[in-house]
Structure 1
């Protein structure tokens, strides 16, 4: 018997069905216009764009322009790329324009879908950002889709790491800009560290379309983007602590795999205290609980985390003497990204690599708060429904499942659960051999490099030819993915999420054509293409007869979404396919989240060696376990965001004030208000209201006036006059200070004085904000303990951070007033010297500034190799710093290698 919910769905349809139904009239309008737009010349299409842009700027709504804009874009894409958008692609574009996430299966053409809402929203002249997960995809999509936008008369830009500033500003000024989430976030922070408006790259945050939206807004949004600069070198401390950690016994620490946390026990603390004293890291009677031991305790904890939580070839690899992190969701190497709080240095010490200095935070922002800056946000992915609640609550984004152009023909088998990992892998190898024997291409999903290489060894023993795609094969990624659909291909891949290249049955035609043309550049390219396309049709048919792509997963991920992404690689555009998950009770998910009950069930069934349990109930119980993990991770992200929202309000105030200062031509009124506020505060502190004159601290006021206002006035005499009160002293001080600053403005010249005021204000704000960020970090690390006193840590953080922000503004006023009161005109020679020193300082800061992030957080890539650089030719090395890594690649510091003094 049907439940009430199911009966209602049968009668009224699901909410998703109703959304799809609502777009059908709009799609019909677009289709009705098709014949009209087919008659337009190429020039007429561009003229249509100008007409639509004028109507948009004239106040006509984008919704009213949508049918004509989409029809124009479809025609331009057909001419530029030879691709006519399907109705479901138009639907996906409509949902994106409405500020939703379009969930579209793999192979449904999401890259083309983005052009429709991007074109429509770019008509306003405010620019549109299309966000991708990596630089390769940003460049590829920008290059490919720029043909469509050019046909429409619009400009396309792409933003990438280490891009020259002029080129970056030009890219952001384009109608449509392709970029990664990292670069967008970092450019936002960099812009808010600039000194002049003309140097800022980004303009309005109008509309962003986020590709692989679940990967960017959820997986990568757990921790902030950080720009930092180097602090003091503590190499010896890291090495000394690293030598201590291997002596730590199992009863000295407790490990919680669910929350990826490790802490010392009481026995561990006693052990540490004893051994740290023996090694001279703790002095005399100093204990671990003394305030001066905070730094040592912090680094010992990070050393323990490096050894017990971070595994080589799973969380990171060692390449060229450097620790390179691996993205747990995509299996990609994250070159240039570093863990913060000394954790990266602890891992470098563990692996015997050169230890880089720690960094101090200069600016930071979370992806959540960066993307909430946009007036409108849309997203695309193949898998978002499982996180619909989070998208709605955090970003206000609805999730709409867009139907496929053709029905899904893939067969999804129930999970097979084995008792042990050995039995599971034996079954996997046998299944691969069977499918391989009939020529069926197989994509094998693993969760770590270690497991992919273990399985690769098993297939080598079994004599099965295969490719391995993980962080070690990062450079060959696109080629390996392109070949994964060939007849008989076996591909082992670590976390296929967000790869961005379709697996096409029979292989990728474009890759084959490019290879053939590269091999025979003088040949007839058209004939080569025709021959390859004909051969491809035969190959594609052979693969279809073999059953299409077989996705075989070696274990379940914590997130259903990642499993669905892997499964979705098969069955694109109505192709046949098959997917199957092989699990064991020794898998991480099963082991951590309740395999005891399943173990008892399997034991009671009397299962033999090599047998598996396959039943829909097993799938459901696993999905429930995954949903619990997802819910817990959502709660963690939500809690982190609540704390970051407090800082975000302050960040918006500071960045807004900075911009106002840069835009203002004359800041003398602001500076004067600050000066008067400082005088108010000094008078109130030394001459408290409602007190007698003999209780005043006139000498203290005199000293403070000289220190902060740089004026020597008879404050003591003023206060001693008959009938004097605090107001009269205040007024005379304000007048004296204003006259002194007016005299300075005359001697400098008004323009020079305005420029000095602007620079002093900006530099002081930046300095105070950096100090404030560090203070808030320290506050975050201790406020959690307030919970033991039955006080809400979040409320405590809000109250204290607000007080800290107020005190930061007070000290800002004092510092600006003090600095401006001390400036003096300088000679021409002094000006030149000062300008030179300033330029050198700024250059040094830009060179030293690198992006870093807390554990598993995102950061900007490191610099690319210089043109003409040869590690074997010292004449091409430029001028390396003495503490930098030697360019020869030895892993030693320059001063200990080629820079060694004779």
Structure 2
């Protein structure tokens, strides 16, 4: 009670922080008259003045007030948009390295220009991160006009650019791009063989747009670059032979969790047969056997959990996955982690090469590299703890420029899903009848399509996203009464969806969208005049006629806005609650921008996932007592509170899961940073001879001490094995057995002699090859060996992570076990680096000057956590240096044989020759 009273009198921490910005806002406003008097040239010259002041010792904090005043005036002149005071506050928050939570329609894109300009002044580069390529291009072109006016350069990083284009874009003062592209460029840079080939120039400052989506939702899955492994079909076939030898007591199966594991007797049996086959070194669960254990587990799963003709079929000598939900075949899709190869070995078909992870990083660890990180979104407060815990980012709620007038109604709860959908259809029809625009939010693509089919059954017509005139009949008040059209958006076609979303505020418009579809584009009541002009008049040349038509569109949009306002503004209908309150708030926030009226309501059923999982039996009994019958709804604030508590539980659980995954990745990340820093150091040095010499001396010491224990008598020395090892590693045939017979000789003397012989051999090679060529050879071999071992190490860590959880059964902390064994593997990597480099240099002979190795074939992957689909496979083409991840189409398509068509894009013409798009022809039911 006292806390509530104190908050009422003094405000909460957020209010006090906003109040603290007031003096700087007043100072910026005080400069406005002076800025207005400056000529364009004088305003532009302020950039050089600021940079000179920084060089003289000032900090960017010292320049905040004059820099913000400069950007505000530039935006007013170039974009005809003046930053509101609350937008200046948002800019300060971004500059301070925090998250600005600003409601939809408050102009976050414009806010970012303030912090971007100020932090670009030192010349280290600013990265603005968007959720898709369309927004990156749009924002770079739109806001780039402000930066260009002030003498700064703007670049864009999008899918499909080559390294030269990327290098140029990163060299700009401000660079816009997607989270995937930034992350993959970082990984690829650390696979290059010279510093000059690297495209990124550091990680000084980043602003993440839709920060909740990128740093929380998408951060549940890592970025992965993979490439084909060497042919290991014999290995899979060998492992497969041993699985049928296991009896029922040798393994345990959990069909519900889809897991399998060996029992103690199974471990003993396999340890014995694998040892006899020469596959195993030592015991089964020794750290060096982690990959073998992984493949044994995958083979066990393939045999005992996966059933032919249920989980997969064998067709034309290939194992084809069957979708567990739809029952459809999924040609081109393959199980990962060697499971698909295990199934191929089981079915005795050709084992296709497995893809190896060449490089990987989580978004958490990528974005934590930035010296300063900031973000903006409409919904961050519910995840404030996670932002602080993982990224050390505070969330600051920015007040709206105008008060929110949206009416958020209590949820309607029905007994069954059909009852709920019937109520939604009735509500959509009622809204359309009075000309109110409606946005229906769904939790998945499948549910969007279900609702679309129901609307079609009620006489509504689904429009083609590629038709810019989709909602055109609604622009005419008389026609609109007879038109029943709707659009379905599922976040697959960003550019088309942005246009449809921009017109979703037209009176009578009905739009069905998943939560990510069209994000980043405001829904303006009456539609977006600028978007309509850019699309509808795209083919017209500039001139009086185009300007007249543009003005007519603006007038029409103004009239449509008045009709939408009169109808009550945008109506948001939620078809069910999401696991996260934040995503529900995102949906609600699409309505009521800039003080506009609006309305939102969620329709639920007791069969919805969230209701079903969290106490539906008890809730159903209670609602029945309250009088809930079939076809009827109940509305009560108590239900909203109960659901919010359920959502909080799910959010806490998901946070714990993400945090646990990150703990493991942090171990790998520490090692990743060491390797990447070492690579950059190697690339920067022209002469590695001293380092290579130290490696060689270390290898000699290790070899000698392994066979001549300290303080041991000469007769205890294993000189023959030492002689063989010296020949294997150093390519030297030395009389080690004779040395052992010498009086008083010790291990130090042996080390000295072997080192001297090895150094003389390498010196003679350098003399034969020439010093410059020798330096090239040394550098190429060190880099190649390091990359080869690091890729093997990544795979070992992945395999270790999958099996280490079993240590919990022995009352041992899996994370501590993982840290310990990961450290052992890393030490082993460094030892092998020294030995393999020394060995290859000892064996190398020169035919011609060696080129630096090429990058291996690569494909990019990031699995969308919401759909489970690979985002890069959906693009159908890959970035330079990447091969496409989707199945390659067959160049010889027979119109009469669909089996020859390969992968067909949804919007391609159907290969059958009908002239229709594939999605409207043979792809209709796919």
Q: Alignment partner of 2:709: what SS?
A: coil
Q: Distance in 2 between matches of 1:314 and 1:495?
A: 22
Asked whether 1:439 is paired with 2:443, we answer: no
Asked whether 1:90 is paired with 2:74, we answer: no
Change (3 A) 1:683 1:813: same
Q: Distance in 2 between matches of 1:797 and 1:111?
A: 43
Q: Is the 8 A contact 1:497 1:566 kept in 2?
A: no
Task: Within 5 Å, give how 1:851-890 maps onto structure 2.
Answer: 851=861, 856=868, 860=872, 885-888=889-892
Aligned partner of 1:587 in structure 2 is 608
Deviation per CA, 1:348-404: give whole Å up to 9, x if none: 99xxxx998641111111100000110010000000000000000000000001011
Q: Is the 8 A contact 1:262 1:305 kept in 2?
A: no
Asked whether 1:376 is paired with 2:372, we answer: yes
Q: Distance in 2 between matches of 1:380 and 1:290?
A: 45
Q: Is the 8 A contact 2:731 2:839 kept in 1?
A: yes
Asked whether 1:637 is paired with 2:658, we answer: yes
After TM superposition, the structure 1 stretch with the greater mean CA deviation from structure 2, 508-517 or 427-436, is 508-517
Tell me by how many angstroms 1:497 deviates: 5.8
Q: Alignment partner of 1:105: what SS?
A: coil
Tell me by how many angstroms 1:715 deviates: 2.3
Aligned partner of 1:619 in structure 2 is 640
Aligned partner of 1:119 in structure 2 is 117
Tell me by how many angstroms 1:515 deviates: 3.8
Q: Distance in 2 between matches of 1:528 and 1:185?
A: 43
Change (3 A) 1:709 1:308: closer
Q: Alignment partner of 2:512: what SS?
A: strand
Match of 1:505 among 525, 539, 552: 525
Tell me by how many angstroms 1:307 deviates: 7.5
Task: Within 5 Å, give how 1:424-573 maps onto structure 2.
Answer: 424-464=420-460, 465=484, 466-470=486-490, 476-496=496-516, 499-518=519-538, 521=541, 524-573=545-594
Q: Is the 8 A contact 2:498 2:518 kept in 1?
A: no
Tell me by how many angstroms 1:234 deviates: 8.2
Q: Is the 8 A contact 1:76 1:152 kept in 2?
A: yes
Q: Distance in 2 between matches of 1:293 and 1:737?
A: 42
Q: Is the 8 A contact 2:872 2:878 kept in 1?
A: no
Match of 1:6 among 4, 26, 41: 4
After TM superposition, the structure 1 stretch with the greater mean CA deviation from structure 2, 662-671 or 97-106, is 662-671
Deviation per CA, 1:845-885: give whole Å up to 9, x if none: 33x54436597486646776699xxxxxxxxxxx999x954
Aligned partner of 2:413 in structure 1 is 417
After TM superposition, the structure 1 stretch with the greater mean CA deviation from structure 2, 422-431 or 566-575, is 422-431
Deviation per CA, 1:403-434: give whole Å up to 9, x if none: 11111100000111111111111111111111
Change (3 A) 1:853 1:448: closer
Q: Distance in 2 between matches of 1:255 and 1:714?
A: 62
* Residues paired across the two proteins, number: 816
Q: Is the 8 A contact 1:263 1:301 kept in 2?
A: no
Deviation per CA, 1:722-742: give whole Å up to 9, x if none: 111111111121122112212
Change (3 A) 1:8 1:472: closer
Q: Distance in 2 between matches of 1:83 and 1:316?
A: 53
Q: When the two structures are superposed, what TM-score results if normalisation uses the length of structure 1?
A: 0.84
Aligned partner of 2:401 in structure 1 is 405
Q: Is the 8 A contact 1:228 1:359 kept in 2?
A: yes
Deviation per CA, 1:218-262: give whole Å up to 9, x if none: 00111211100124598999xx9xxxxxxxxxxx98676xxxx54
Tell me by how many angstroms 1:713 deviates: 2.8
Task: Within 5 Å, give how 1:708-787 maps onto structure 2.
Answer: 708-787=729-808
After TM superposition, the structure 1 stretch with the greater mean CA deviation from structure 2, 162-171 or 544-553, is 162-171
Asked whether 1:647 is paired with 2:668, we answer: yes
Q: Distance in 1 between matches of 2:15 and 2:294?
A: 61
Aligned partner of 2:49 in structure 1 is 51
Aligned partner of 2:725 in structure 1 is 704
Tell me by how many angstroms 1:805 deviates: 0.6
Tell me by how many angstroms 1:748 deviates: 1.6
Q: Is the 8 A contact 2:299 2:343 kept in 1?
A: no
Change (3 A) 1:347 1:578: farther
Tell me by how many angstroms 1:62 deviates: 1.0
Match of 1:297 among 275, 300, 304: 300
Q: Is the 8 A contact 1:302 1:346 kept in 2?
A: no
Q: Distance in 1 between matches of 2:418 and 2:358?
A: 49
Deviation per CA, 1:649-673: give whole Å up to 9, x if none: 1000010111110111211111111
Q: Is the 8 A contact 2:221 2:862 kept in 1?
A: no
Aligned partner of 1:278 in structure 2 is none
Q: Alignment partner of 2:402: what SS?
A: coil
Q: Which has the higher contact order (CA 8 A, sep 6+)?
A: 1
Q: Is the 8 A contact 2:695 2:838 kept in 1?
A: yes
Tell me by how many angstroms 1:153 deviates: 0.5
Deviation per CA, 1:669-714: give whole Å up to 9, x if none: 1111111100110110111111101100112111111111122332
Match of 1:628 among 619, 625, 649: 649
After TM superposition, the structure 1 stretch with the greater mean CA deviation from structure 2, 129-138 or 225-234, is 225-234
Aligned partner of 2:221 in structure 1 is 223
Q: Distance in 1 between matches of 2:743 and 2:261?
A: 70
Q: When the two structures are superposed, what TM-score results if normalisation uses the length of structure 2?
A: 0.82
After TM superposition, the structure 1 stretch with the greater mean CA deviation from structure 2, 208-217 or 745-754, is 745-754
Q: Distance in 1 between matches of 2:762 and 2:596?
A: 78
Aligned partner of 1:385 in structure 2 is 381
Task: Within 5 Å, give how 1:332-343 maps onto structure 2.
Answer: 340-341=336-337
Q: Alignment partner of 1:785: what SS?
A: helix
Q: Distance in 2 between matches of 1:6 and 1:418?
A: 36
Q: Is the 8 A contact 2:233 2:352 kept in 1?
A: no
Q: Distance in 1 between matches of 2:420 and 2:308?
A: 31
Aligned partner of 2:685 in structure 1 is 664
Tell me by how many angstroms 1:322 deviates: 5.7
Tell me by how many angstroms 1:526 deviates: 1.7
Q: Distance in 1 between matches of 2:342 and 2:404?
A: 48
Deviation per CA, 1:455-474: give whole Å up to 9, x if none: 22222233342222225766
Change (3 A) 1:378 1:460: same
Q: Is the 8 A contact 1:341 1:854 kept in 2?
A: no
Change (3 A) 1:306 1:630: farther
Structure 2 gap segments, 5+ residues each = 241-251, 267-291, 313-320, 461-483, 904-926
Tell me by how many angstroms 1:755 deviates: 1.4
Q: Alignment partner of 2:61: what SS?
A: helix
Change (3 A) 1:520 1:192: closer
Deviation per CA, 1:631-654: give whole Å up to 9, x if none: 000000000000000111100001
Q: Distance in 1 between matches of 2:51 and 2:308?
A: 56
Q: Is the 8 A contact 2:873 2:884 kept in 1?
A: no
Tell me by how many angstroms 1:508 deviates: 1.3
Tell me by how many angstroms 1:752 deviates: 1.4
Q: Is the 8 A contact 2:130 2:209 kept in 1?
A: yes
Q: Alignment partner of 1:16: what SS?
A: helix
